[in-house]
A and B are shown apart, each in its own frame.
Chain A
Amino acid sequence: MGETILVAENICKSFGITKAVRDVSMTFARGEIHGLIGENGSGKSTFVSMLCGIHSIDSGRFLLNGEELHVKNQVEANDKGVSIIVQEMGTLSGLTVAENIFLGREDRFVKYGIKNTTAMNREAARLLDKYGFGHIDAAAMIDHYHFEDRKLIEIVKATYFDPQIVVIDETTTALSQNGREELYKHMKRIRDEGKTIIFISHDLTEVIEFTDNISVLRDGSYIDTVKSSDASEDELKRLMVGREIASKYYRTDYGEPVSGETVLSVQGVSVPERINGISFELYKGEILGFGGLSECGMHEVGKAIFGASYDRTGSVTLADGTKIDSIPTAIRHSIAYASKDRDNESIIIYDSIRDNIILPSINDLAEKRILRKKKLNEFANRYAKLISVKMTGVDQFVSNLSGGNKQKVVLARWIGRDSDIIVLDSPTRGIDVKVKADIYALMSELKAKGKSIIMISEEIQELLGMCDRIIIMKNGVINGEFKRDERLSEEDLIAKMV
């Protein structure tokens, strides 16, 4: 291990009664990519948020190059040589690309109070070119760019000023393979320049491949640091969870027949510029997987079934002949949907766990149109506990939960509704191994109860491991279909994706 650049000494942080980070001490070396892993809610993001001034430290201290680091916001952290690419959207709408890159640091372009917009745009364009993102126009409004390009802009924003420490917090889940490759390339470049990267990810394969050392947090406490070259996924899982996690947490059954009873029929469904003429049947007790490259249209299939697509044509019909053409109709007829974009489309982030869980069941819970809090609490508690949401109580705001627990709240909502057809879009995206295992177990349980599940996923392994049938999409159309089979391999699926 090289010379130490950053030391964390007894760092603690609580949110109300929840102890998010407990007495964490660890060191980071100059010129390394240091992985930071742990289950959802293990305190990784809170730890780095304190380093970057997003959250204040309750007790303990950070030492950067031997000097105490005490920053109140991201710009102060940047000035001290620490930057972060955050998990969520870190760019601001309504500003140009250049304004976003230099936000809070415009003073170099300001003379006598006047901002030299031309110089700022020119410098931003130079940086974008240097990073290989020349397709992005520095003077354009950032709203013109999609999520992935905005993440690339964030890479520039977080690293152009040569910080000594760069934190990359669970960014890769939002990126396609190309975007990831860009990020890895810049991570290596920054490391080779003698800077340090703290890399947070749930993708253990990527953590092992691209880091030099890996530290593990569990329940807010520091557990261990291992050399990446000596680490195995199983060992890391054990350190994260505190017990052995079976390396195979998928279904183990093969060859069991699926009912021939159709519960949902999708015929010739098209959504302009997204999907074209999709037809398939879903059977009772079946887990039907949808796979493909990120932009292949599979995510739109979930929306189309749930009646959430715009300008949809074709038909989505239940076994009893009911046509599903709107979200209320879908919910009324026992269809559930968990979107890939959890925070924006599935969860009401600034509301309680209770209100999130009861939402689709509210009419059933009302007594003569009056809602009784006791009954709502009982309902929410029952289903939150059923799938082990880690919470202080159902009054807790969802915004305070980790990604995995937010996903559990979404699932609790639909289990509470006793939905018969459940559409799960990327259900384990950004979720740690333990919650993943819980979700897979829950899916198997629902299947055993005769519920039908559509799982849309970009993770080929989970499609192979969990589905009775897999449909592969390419350019908005179905390009292949596979039955569950032990001999089915990733290569078989990939061949139909690209």
Chain B
Amino acid sequence: MRVTDGESAAVSYRVVVKGRLSEHVAAAFEGVECEPGAGESVLTGALDQAGLHGLLERLRDLGVQLVSVNPIDCGRAPE
């Protein structure tokens, strides 16, 4: 923790994972929307760097396979 608030702003990310994430698992990720698909599921949410890494780590720990991670351009340049 630094005394002054870090400049890591929240960016919207789109994380694609393999398989269908059940509602049980999806509910575990706060602040993140989950669209279960047929072969893949899409998670979207506004996250700062720490939040993004936390999400990826939890996905890893649950044995969920990552397909891609991309920032979503909403008119603001991603970090």
Interaction A to B? no
